[in-house]
Every structure is written in C-alpha cells, then in structure tokens.
Amino acid sequence: MCIVESFCLLLKSPAYTKFTKLNDLLRNSGAIGFHRMLLQLTWAGVILSNMAAAAKATAIAFPSALPNCPDKCGEIQIPYPFGLTEGCYLKGITSFFINCTPNSKGEPLPLTGNVIVTNISIIQGRIDILMYNTIDCYNELGTRLSYKWEWQRRLYNLIFTIFETQNTFVAVGCDTYAYLNGFQNDQPFSIGCLSRCQNISNVVNGKFSRIGCCQIQIPGGLKNITLEAYSFKKQSFVFDFNPCSYAFIIREDEFKFSSVYLTTLRNNKTLPMVLDWTIGSEKCDLAWNKSSYICGENMLKIRSVLSTRASIEIQLKEEAVIKPSKQR
C-alpha cells in the first residue's frame, strides 16, 4: 500500500492554508532568491510535519468520512474510501459499502457482505472482520448434524484479498481434512490440510501443534474463498472427545491451539480475520498517475508539495556551491 494515501484527507489543515497564502504573498511581493526559497522550504516542512502528526492522531480525528457522511456504525469508525450510504464510499465499488444494520438486540452492526467488521485501518490498509467458523459435526451413530452452509463457508469479494502475513489457515480435529479454495490472479486455487489421531493423550497444546491441528500459511493475493471441513470416518473413532471437524482462517496472533478446541470450537461461530482492502498491486509512482487512484486530485496536491520541497532543497545546495566559486 502507498502510505502517502493516508494523508489524502489532510489537505484542509491550517498549515496547508498558510502555505498557499504565503506563496501568494511572496509571489506578489517580489521576494526572490535565497530568502524566498528558504521560506518555501520551511513551510513545506511544516505541511509535511502536520501530515505526519495527523497520521499518528487518534482514530477519532483521523481518518474521517467524506463531508456530510456518517462516520460511525455503533462504535466502529468508518473512514473513506468506505462509507455507510450511497455517495459516501468509493464511487462505483460496492465492496467499500458498509451496511450498518441492527442486530437482534437493536445495536448497530457494521457488515461487509455477511460478515461483521470490527476495525478499518487506513494506515495499514486492512479491515478486521469476524469470519464464520466451518464446522462438520456428527452424532454417535455417524449422522451428520451440520447443515451444508456450516461445513462450507464462503467469503466473496471482488476487491479485498486475504491478508497473507496476518492470517493462517487452520484445520482442527482428529478425523479431519479441510480445503481452502479461492482465486489468485483470477485463477482458481486450492490448498488442503488434514489431521488424524486416535487418542486425546497424543494431542499437544501449542501454537504449531501437528497432532489434532493442521496449520498452513495463506497464499498471497487470495480472494473469493470457500472453506470446507470434512470427516474421514464420520468422527466414529474419536467421537468421545472430538465429535466435529473444523476449518477456518484466523489472525495468526490470535490463535494458539489447545486440546479443548476438539470439543469447544463448535461454540465459536466466528473468528477474527484480516482482509487487505488496498486496490491493485502496482507501484505507487504508476498508480498515482491514474484517474482511478483513490486520492484523486488530493494526491496531486500532496505530490506538488513533496516536489516543491525537493526542488527547493536542490536549488539551495546549488547556491551553496555556486556562491563561494563566484567570490574567488
């Protein structure tokens, strides 16, 4: 992600206003040479400092929604390019629409598709969600208890990808195999995980246990995923301590395997997961020049400030070299 995107909404700051007024004043006053360039350099530095400070500000102050747009759903901040109503999210891309709908208790709940949003970060280019756990359960007679939508879970989004460095794909069970299906570069892609054991005494707790739990890295750029969980023998040999198979993607820093999960994970209907919402994989200097770039004209203003500062610094260095040579 181009970090400078995060500064797009800061151009209305007092520092930027002062800078533009100062430029006009200097232009009209006829100020020339070293002093004018020094003043411009100083104010360019002030603007960049304000931008950096604003980026570190609290979530309440930054980022923000577009003018006249609601910026919260319950306690969750909804910054642009996301939005809660038509005209408040990135034009033409419905993936950035957040549906603020009441839950069973009447409390506002932010949804992207059918999953709950718990946080949106502009700086990190991530959206935290609660993804559904994939569960395949049987009774002692070997009859499946789970509905199909429980042992096959889908997350469909045309834009957002699975944040591969933040998540891990996990299958839990002692009679379990699972699939993660998705699309990478618009091509279908599948990986699998399996775990078999016959006695709970063999199951060891830990972050990367290989008995009772299979855990593998997420491929980069994966989206439009389907998770599937299955049992080899309908849990018939392990039913006493493991009646279900599970498959899910979870934030890696939120997961540490425990043997109790063999029975208790069926109570966890959702688990924390991270999506990457940044658009495309182009380098910043190429993306900046496109009309579809998120920041639009604001990005051009930021680049202008950066360019002005760099140009002035070069001129000052040149003067420092040229002036002594003229005095000789």
Judgement on whether residues 85 and 143 belong to the same structural domain of the protein? no
In the listed set 115, 137, 155, which residue is the last one of a domain according to the structure?
Answer: 115
pTM score, two decimals? 0.68
Judgement on whether residues 270 and 146 belong to the same structural domain of the protein? yes
Q: Compute the distance between CA of residue 29 and CA of residue 312 in angstroms, rounded to an integer.
A: 19
The mean-pLDDT minimum among 177-181, 199-203, 280-284 falls in 280-284
Per-residue pLDDT, averaged over 226-250, amounts to 95
Per-residue pLDDT, averaged over 296-323, amounts to 45
Max intra-chain CA distance, the chain = 101
Q: Residue 4: what residue type?
A: V
- Look at residue 129 and tell me whether its pLDDT is greater than 80: yes
From the CB of residue 314, how many other CB atoms can be counted at a distance below 10 Å?
Answer: 10
Judgement on whether residues 200 and 257 belong to the same structural domain of the protein? yes
User: Is 284 within a domain?
Assistant: no
The overall average pLDDT reported for the chain is 77
State percent of the chain over pLDDT 70: 65
Per-residue pLDDT, averaged over 262-287, amounts to 78
**Would you give the DSSP letter of residue 266?**
G
Judgement on whether residues 182 and 304 belong to the same structural domain of the protein? no
Residue 21 · residue 40 · CB < 8 Å: no
Which H/E stretch holds residue 313? helix 297-327
**Sign (positive or negative) of CA dihedral 48, 52, 53, 58:** positive
- Look at residue 313 and tell me whether its pLDDT is greater than 70: no
Which H/E stretch holds residue 215? strand 213-217
What domain count does the chain have? 3
Q: Which domain holds residue 85?
A: 64-115
Judgement on whether residues 84 and 195 belong to the same structural domain of the protein? no
- For residue 134, how many C-alpha atoms fall within 13 Å in the half-sphere facing its CB? 28
Please list, in sequence order, all residues whose beta carbon lies within 8 angstroms of the beta carbon of residue 170, skipping any fewer than 6 positions away.
Answer: 193, 213, 214, 215, 246, 247, 248, 249, 250, 255, 257
User: Is 246 within a domain?
Assistant: yes
User: Is 282 within a domain?
Assistant: no
The mean-pLDDT minimum among 46-55, 92-101, 312-321 falls in 312-321
